[in-house]
Amino acid sequence: PILEKRAIIFGAGWSGREIVKVLIHNEKNYREKAYKIFGFIDDDEKKTGKQFEGVRILASSEMLQKYATRLKLDEVIVAVPYDKSIKGKLYN
């Protein structure tokens, strides 16, 4: 692809990690859909700073807007399977 989509994944659980596998670790999908994944956003403080599938967990949802603006994201990929898992302003 000529242009990569700049994205961040909201949710570093099983769903988020599977999305990373599909979007950036699968060569055929990458050639067709090219994503530059800058990191995960996740509210589990124990995960912050860790990496899954080679993608770092950057911060909690409170920082999502700042990261989206700073990184000039094209997309935020929501990988949270249950709405009850989303906390704070994002759910409202």
**Residue 3 pLDDT > 90:** no
Query: pLDDT band at 26, cuts 50/70/90?
Result: confident
Pick 87 or 35 by higher pLDDT. Answer: 35
CA distance 55 to 86: 21
Residue 64 phi, psi dihedral angles, 5° rounding: -55, -50
Structural tokens at position 37: 């994944």
